[in-house]
Structure 1
């Protein structure tokens, strides 16, 4: 990667942490966000250079996209021409079918490569450089860019061809989100029958019922009263709906995903962009009726 020009577009909670981790590792990075406030609030570093998205796309050898959806990536790419031999890294949780089509198009039209590198570990992991990445695309292209990816991820899994990284992330998120919603529903019912929430979580964590959700999410973000999980109900809906749609194409009409989506759809839409840990008190109000 020596001498390569690297860019990152998207400075939300994840993108800001990734940019900080890349710079901390000594790698120079051009950055951009459509929100000027985000762009101007990022920590000053001689290795972080603000630039336009058009310039980053046209001039960088490696472009990382950490934006909300595949649609935004396609919109940004449609207005600029990639360098021949460059590589796009899609860090979103998106529809793998869109990713596969884009990979074919970029190679045919620009002689450019793409990796889908879906993330797990949240904003804290991005800032600490400890994310887990699930990568789809050409394995050699992944090897070529591992130095940059390793600056913000300590676990990198090659899953397979284009789209497979994002497909893996959809199944990963189905387990995480489904577990959170199941545990929320069970604990709400337990409280209804007179059990203490904190004690239920303590018992689960000393037994076979423990999980990341019970060990971290409930103690740190619900029992603490902080409700700061740093994601939103709309993100949960997006992820579960994508996989639910894929399963329905294969004839799976009803699954636990369907129940998870029903629980999410019970929530008032005005809370869709609030922190997703607030799902617990909201469901508690709904399910007690």
Structure 2
């Protein structure tokens, strides 16, 4: 049993090397795992090659003969296409493999995948992560896990190589449930900050000074500290793309309806993030939602008050 545990930690197929997946795969490699990384977009593998990670453009190679398979895709559609299509993951995965799905998808989709993998005698965990690209690089992500607890404990050392903490919530799909809860809080927090800045703009207050005030108040947070410079400079290089937050809010609302959860602010926020995506902000960091709210309030172009404006 001990030898099996060692093997389990050594051979890992990592599927999806985008803004989050690439640093996570690299952390596994640096922790001593034999990682084979795959991405549908070959250019997203280049940086990993330069850092010594084995990569492949052949999905079968990334999936077969692995003890653990990590999936880190952008949404339900991407994951379904890769897993269930002809020649996809299900066609190549071997009995005894542990699949760790770290993508943020609908809980119902996660439970369906768990059943599909179980039919292939493959263990399945959903383990989406809370945190952005910076946290992925530094290993400060938090894993939210659902599935068989014994399987979770078995692969916990691997999860620990990518995350600072792991929360186990129960059966398959419950990790994705938890991810929707934390991302709802994230979306509403960002919306509240953005609305406060729009009010400040309308009152003629300097944004830098307002941000200083916010950071000094009891309402400040690690999240605010991370986003503060983006809000001040309006350099919205994405750590978490706005389009993904819009997608997650859609999942939140879908999950809330069957259970009768009343989420009025979630519905309002979904409208704001949707408008932001429609107005070309989808690829920007989620903090760019402030630009959309300023636009709706009429503060665009010459109407914008800037800290370096004449007379200030």
Given the two structures, how large is their TM-score scaled by the length of structure 1? 0.92
2:94 is aligned to: 83
Question: Deviation of residue 264 (structure 1)?
Answer: 1.8
Aligned to 1:114: 124
How big is the shift at 1:43?
4.3
1:130 maps onto 2:140 in alignment: yes
Q: Any conservation in 2 of the 1:136–1:158 contact (CA below 8 Å)? A: yes
Q: 1:248 aligns with which of 257, 271, 295?
A: 257
Deviation of 1:226 (Å): 2.5
Partner of 1:60: 66
Q: Is the contact made by 1:26 and 1:47 (CA closer than 8 Å) also made in structure 2? A: no
Structure 1 residue aligned with 2:114: 103
Aligned to 1:153: 163
Q: How does 1:164-175 map to 2 (within 5 A)?
A: 164-175=174-185
2:241 to 224, 232, 253: 232
**Distance change in 2, residues 1:37/1:187 (3 Å):** same
Deviation at 1:51, TM superposition (A): 5.4
Q: Name the counterpart of 2:44.
A: 38
Offset of residue 150 of structure 1: 1.0
Q: Give the C-alpha shift of residue 34 in structure 1.
A: 0.8
Structure 2: gaps of 5 or more residues: 300-312
Report SS of the residue matched to 2:161.
Answer: coil
Report SS of the residue matched to 2:20: helix
Equivalent position of 2:216 in the other structure: 206
The residue that corresponds to 1:281 in the other structure is: 291
Q: Decide whether the 8 Å contact of 1:65 with 1:88 is kept in 2.
A: yes
Q: Deviations over 1:219-248 (max 9, x none)?
A: x21213422242222111110111112212
Q: Is the 8 A contact 2:23 2:137 kept in 1?
A: yes
Deviation track 1:99-139 (CA, whole Å, cap 9, x = no partner) reads 012112211x2111111111112111111222111111111
Measure, in 2, the Cα distance between the counterparts of 1:273 and 1:163: 28
State the 1:268 CA deviation.
Answer: 5.5
SS at match of 2:211: helix
Q: 1:47 Cα deviation (Å)?
A: 5.1
Aligned residues: 287
Q: CA deviation at 1:252?
A: 4.1
Task: Tell whether the 8 Å contact from 1:228 to 1:277 is kept in structure 2 after alignment.
Answer: no
Q: 1:3 aligns with which of 1, 7, 14?
A: 7
Question: Which of residues 166, 173, 196 is equivalent to 1:186?
Answer: 196
Does the CA-based 8 Å contact 2:240-2:286 persist in structure 1? yes
Counterpart among 14, 17, 35 of residue 20 in structure 2: 14
Contact 1:27 1:47 survives alignment (8 Å): no
Structure 1 Cα separation of the partners of residues 6 and 261 of structure 2: 48
Q: Give 1 or 2 for the bigger CA radius of gyration.
A: 2
RMSD: 1.9
CA contact 2:26–2:53 (8 Å) conserved in 1 = no
SS of residue in 1 equivalent to 2:7: coil
Q: Distance in 2 between matches of 1:277 and 1:131?
A: 19
SS of equivalent residue, structure 1 residue 41:
helix
